[in-house]
Amino acid sequence: MHRTATLTQNGFLEMLNIFDCVKSSLVVSGHYDAATAGSEAAYPGDVETLSFETGADLVRRAHRLSKNCRLALWVNDMAIGQAERDAFKQNYTLPYRYAEILRRHRLKDQDLCVIYESSLRQQASTELRAIYKKVPHLFDRIEADDTGLLRSVGAAASRSTEAEAEQIAYVIRGPYRESLVLKDGPHPQYNLILATLLKEISKRFSPGMIITVFNESEVYRLNLGMHVAKTLFGLATPMMNVYCDHEELSAFNFASVPPKYRR
């Protein structure tokens, strides 16, 4: 893998030890915003490219050990207008830097699955309504302008100007007993979208472990997403979280990895 000279060596080695103990896995890495210029997706930045390269390197390593492993790419396509979005998905091609990474690691199209944020948002809202009907006691429904609510970290609260019924926030208890907003009026929050992603890939591929490689600024938001996935969807798949900045893998979280995988 390129740019590994400054990795946190102990964390990296422990990550590989854990990874090598799993028979099947799925790596989520390279998440980027597909802001468009004509029909061309903007190139991901250095952090996203390092994330994707780390994921590709792990998949290649797993294949060398004759293990089942896929790479999942989460593309934020929300900046694309509704009218153009279907065509974008149908004709989607990887950004050049990502395609070069796959080529360099000798990965094929079937080794990669692409998941679009617009689809996740719709699915998240639909499944939240279904869960609320089954277990309404799990939620509080609170006026969306309540100042005590926790939404996505670093994101402004979404607001609806529609009917009064759309001004309600769906809230659960967060990992520290805070009032965590899952859906703010018609808008699913990042934590619910991420939880839906984790649930969907676990259901679709049944991996023995999910490995995420995200920007280090996403640590707290990822923790919230994992909490929602466990609380709402009962996600029990072990997870290993890796974080990177512009030049290196900077942090590792093995807290949800069962002891049997730890050497």
Q: What share of the chain is helix, strand, coil (3-state, %, to 5)?
A: 45, 25, 35
Q: What is the pLDDT of residue 9?
A: 67
Per-residue pLDDT of the chain (263 residues; tens, 9 = 90+): 444 434 456 777 888 888 888 899 999 999 988 875 444 455 577 778 899 999 999 999 999 999 999 999 999 999 888 888 999 999 999 999 999 999 999 999 999 999 999 999 999 999 999 999 999 999 998 876 666 665 654 443 444 444 444 588 899 999 888 889 999 888 899 999 999 999 999 999 999 999 999 988 888 889 999 999 999 999 999 999 999 887 788 778 887 788 777 65
Question: By C-alpha distance, which of 56, 53, 55, 30 is closest to 43?
Answer: 30
**For 46-86, what is the HEC assignment?**
HHHHHHHHHHHHHHHHHHHCCCEEEEEEEEECCCCCHHHHH
Question: By C-alpha distance, which of 182, 214, 206 is closest to 195?
Answer: 182
Q: What is the pLDDT of residue 5?
A: 34
Q: What is the pLDDT of residue 210?
A: 96
Q: What is the pLDDT of residue 254?
A: 80
Secondary structure class of 196 (helix, strand, coil): helix
Element containing residue 213 per DSSP (H, E): strand 209-215
- Domain 9-120+197-261 = CATH 3.40.190: no
CB 102 within 8 A of CB 94: yes
Q: What is the pLDDT of residue 26?
A: 97
Q: What is the pLDDT of residue 107?
A: 96
- Compute CA distances 86 → 82, 116, 119, 194, whole Å: 8, 11, 11, 22
Structure-block tokens of residue 149:
């609510």
φ, ψ of residue 171 in degrees (nearest 5):
-130, 140
Render 82-99 in DSSP notation, one character per residue.
Answer: HHHHHHHHHT----HHHH
Say what angle helices 219-233 and 190-205 make with each other, to 10 degrees: 60
Residue type, 108: K
Instruction: Enumerate the domain spans of the chain.
Output: 9-120+197-261, 122-187
